[in-house]
Structure 1
């Protein structure tokens, strides 16, 4: 039978506790001046790293510890942001780094160290401000070989509070500076978009987003007819590798983005399930819809490199606000461009109307006057010159009509038909030629010429003009597209004529690309031939390319 333990005398227990508290109070009182002096020496207004260095040094000296280590959590609380140490060896720092990396959020180091090799003596306290844990302050190995006392623990807690205040202030100031940067970025984007830089608007958004998010790339994606998202603007080390690539519609993140909801990709294991294509090769990413009113204009993506830290909650919020501001700026810029385009269209319509109502009518009247004079003249030379002048007036009228059609197409409209595409090719040839070729149309080109014949005619025109630029050394070029031509066997067709007054075809009868013209025409049951040019005595070359309608 085991005897019961004697009951301790309550008075003796109370007396022993009183003696312990008296001793603790005496020890704390003796240390208080040194602690206050040390805290004053820590100072304010210094960089965070300097403050933490001083706190670690002060804690080690006052507690008589061989080393002190401060582990600081990152702003998101997802891992260590750094380790500050005093008197610690490289092995100590590595062990502490591993400790803080595995320490659960809010846990006490002593609790976590139960399964880890401990130094002879150890103190670990959390660094907190309110309920938020910023890190831990740890001391190891008392210099005198003894154990850390309760007085040491209280002193370390005071210094941990000081460290928490310093870290909290630094985080607050960094968050303030970060918010200011995002606001300044939004203002810069808005100013750029509304100051006339509309052509590069999306590139400006991508560039600013990459800078502000400190990401590996800034991307702007626009919806595709197929349901996917195409990268149309990129700011990265190699933007050409990204531009034009498409995030397919089968990516689970795409429907969410097109519905106006952001997507954040932090977990490497979950990333392939959410996004496929080029974005799947990056690390943590923010995908933010650019929503204007009730429609999604596009998506802003700021992916970081693989293995980089995830975006914090503050960064996500600021980036979302930036995307919303950028979307508003894009809508305003689009509206401004529409107003400017409308003003241009109205002016072009006025010019076209004046050309039609005034210039053409005057040219017609002049032609009629010349024809009347031709009939009354008895001099053959005069009649011939008048006839030539009437022909020139007819060509001028045709060119004015072409100019009217061009004016009414609109400055930013895509080519609406064959006529507009011919105009574009002829206009492009004016630069290398050094002058504007003459161009005329006969018949309803857009209505009569089909898509296949039109596409081949454009290719033939491009080839013929290229030959003139490279070989002819011409001072005059005329292009005629006749949709009322009659081909062999009485077939209706379209005829393209490109004539110049240059040096003509070389003696060997060949010129680069002429064989291609023949093959292209024959593939449509047509033909391509060479004729005399515009120069005196037929000098130069005329390419006559025709296919049935």
Structure 2
């Protein structure tokens, strides 16, 4: 019987089902007629939540007052045997007077009882013995374990839900919202040109076409995010095409095309031979690593467009598939979260510009926090600083260990 209950608990049985199984087990082991489980409810009340046996329907929902035997057992964490409920004095729950012998077994964990199992026999039957009370207390301990496991699962489910919400918020911010912001910058430029009288009809038409295309891309991104919520198997991300796409989109907000360098195991790839690179990356990167890297590139380029007033931007994405290939110097920045020692390699994203630098930049804390969060999820790190090799500009570094 105990093995059956333990197996049920290990199989992630629902809380109510586990308690019903325990109730049935107590009914059988104690040779009882009715068994009920009393648990804390709203307003500091104790209610019969689970019951089994002849009078199960009649006792479900009964409230057990503070001065009664049930709460006394819970407070003292000591079991109790009652010779006969029908002859008991000062019975606080009149409905229990129909029963004969009874026993109360506290549901205890770490010396604290959180509920009680009450076992009844019909009038005229033998009283319960100490061994019966001990057996009921053992099963009550398993009932307590069932409640603790249910609480842990609930906490895990809630944590997963919160993590998923944060991921959705990051995706919306780093993908759709940033693209819409870039479009707003572009429309603002059109407005300024119109006010200054320097805009030609051809230039206005071209800029509006680009803005409409960007809005269409944003709608597509939102649809992908929504679709990802509905489907467990979302389509794989393509890092190479995604990076070319992000740098192409950034051209609209920057006013010029950022440079892009892609390298795998110290071999630099151009757009012409990127198809071979993409086929190799399929075996190296997982979908989450690719998605987060693309989001970081978009956020980084948007920050440059919004704050830096730069004339040049370089995006470097380097991947080393084995730890032995990673050159010295790629781990010189102290990570906020220690890199996994068993890592097989690294993905290194660096965005540099020749803009005004950090001292004159108004920080966007949410964007930087999102990039840092995307790094920490992979046990990596993110860093932003003034360029050490120049009097102008910033350098953003985002590095994660590979999971392959």
Give TM-score scaled by structure 2 length: 0.42
Question: Could you say which structure has the greater relative contact order, defined with CA pairs below 8 angstroms and 6 or more residues apart?
Answer: 2
Which of these two proteins has the greater Rg computed from alpha carbons? 1
Give TM-score scaled by structure 1 length: 0.32
